[in-house]
Amino acid sequence: MNHFFIKANKKDHLIKCLTADIRSNVIHHLFLITCFFNPESGTEIIKSLSRWNIKEISLYFDKEQAIRIGIPTLKEWQKNIQEEICKKSILHIYIFNPDSPSLFHPKLYSLIRLNPNGEVISGNLVVTSANLTHFGLICEHGNTESIFRISSLEAIKQFYQELKSLKYITLEELKENNSFADFEKFNQPKELQKSNNFTKIVNPELNNSFYFKYELLCCGKFLYKWTDNLNSCLSVRYRLTPKAKEKSFSLQKEFAKLGFTIEQATISKNYFDLTDEEKNHILDSDPNKQIDNLTKNYGIQTFLGYWIPKQFAGVLEERMNQYDTFANNLFKKLEQQLEDIAKTVQTDYENLLEKELILPIKNNIQKNLSKKIKSLQENPIKLKRIWSKYYLFELPYNSIENHEQIEILYDVLIETCNNLRNKKISVKAVLDAHKEKNLSYIINLINLA
């Protein structure tokens, strides 16, 4: 059940470790302790444990995530969990290290049975490297993690006692904590800001708060476009002879008739029929959702890629689950074509060699083609780039260690917005939020998308 290195089925292994030797009708308390947190991933784990009798769920994570996610979103998620998924359970959300400059980094998950005096009498503790996030525990193509179950009662008692001794605050207490006062303000409409009494916890300097800049950047995701494509990975390439190099300009038409592209000292050609794969490409299935349209309509260029409000970026994320089907169909089709294509390649090769236009190759042609296919199969990261054409990611900086980078990135974003003549809706929202120090301009934009 324990794994030093596990990539697939991480959620299932976690659930098995948590529920091992536990009767589903006995009341237990669920503890979810993580550094980084994603509400959708939390829902997945809690749903998977719904048949067990869990009276209370206690979720703990670092203050950084409260900033990223936002208090209103967390409260809404908490409400939905209790009303729709765990009607008999109470969900508590706790924030660690509200005043500390460091990250709270443990990842621990536990199902514990307590006696009426609040003492541990049985349970399981899972020690893991996995955060309660999509790539940490949910996604089949996410991170490689470690998952270990501890059943020792003494160890579980120690875990429970140490947990109770740590400093944390509840979600309801956030607005009383100076570290989060400005976030609560920024998440409210401008009218409410005026009517509420913030004099005790908010001062004018917060209008230029570094944390406001940080949270504004967290309202979007960054999109980086890849240039990899199937043709370049599967093309047959030959080096030209000195004779052909001299006449390369006059030979262009002859090479073009044979389907070859001439590139300085080489020629290349893709023999595989990839029409269906191109037709069913993630970004071609709906022209309105292509990257070019997404960046044109909503993207703001930065040195990390295009910043795009999260709701608009979501249309790309939702379609990534088509990748497995794409990969399976692609390799099945390549294998079906391989033998016939090898014969065609051999004919072209012998013809070009006879005309002294290319230099001879060392390996067998079919082996070379098989090697190209195998290389692609063994490199899922590259194939995903080809499939998606983009990399979509959260702000890669945290507010503790990357203060300078965040300041620079924010300045670049605002400068770009100011310099754009065409004030698209995302640009206008960012500039209004920047001017008024009010994130509702972006939040409302996302909600209306």
How high is the pLDDT of residue 100? 63
Taking alpha carbons only, the member of 210, 219, 204, 220 closest to residue 101 is 210
The single residue listed with the structure tokens 């030959």 is 238
Which pLDDT score is estimated for 71? Answer: 78
Which has the higher per-residue pLDDT, 73 or 302?
302
Q: Indicate whether 304 pLDDT > 50.
A: yes
Structure confidence at residue 122 (pLDDT)? 94
Q: Are 17 and 126 in contact (CB under 8 A)?
A: yes
Long-range contacts of 370-373 (CB under 8 A, 24+ apart): 370/338, 372/233, 372/234, 373/234, 373/331, 373/334, 373/335, 373/338
Residue 201 has a pLDDT of: 27
239-279: pLDDT as tens digits: 999 988 888 778 888 888 888 988 878 999 999 987 655 44
CA distances from 90 to 7, 14, 200, 359 (A): 31, 21, 32, 73
Distance between CA 315 and CA 147 in Å, rounded? Answer: 32
| pLDDT above 50: residue 63 | yes
Work out whether strand 28-33 and strand 108-114 pair parallel, antiparallel, or are unpaired.
antiparallel
Does the pLDDT of residue 64 top 60, yes or no? yes
Ranking 158-172, 253-267, 288-302 by mean pLDDT, the lowest is 288-302
pLDDT at 184 over 80: no
Instruction: Indicate whether 181 pLDDT > 70.
Output: no
Nearest to 69 by CA among 171, 190, 194: 171
> Scanning the structure block, which residue is given the tokens 């570094």?
210
Q: What is the mean pLDDT of residues 50-73?
A: 83
Looking at residue 206, its pLDDT comes to 36
365 vs 359: CA distance, rounded Å: 14
| pLDDT in the model for residue 99 | 62
Structural domains of the chain, ranges and CATH numbers in brackets: 3-175 (3.30.870.30)
Question: Which of 149-158, 316-325, 415-424 is predicted least confidently?
Answer: 316-325
Both structure tokens of 9: 């089925």
Quote the pTM value: 0.52
Q: Which of 16, 73, 72, 1 is nearest to 42 (CA)?
A: 73
pLDDT in tens, 314-357: 666 655 667 788 888 889 999 999 999 999 999 999 999 998 99
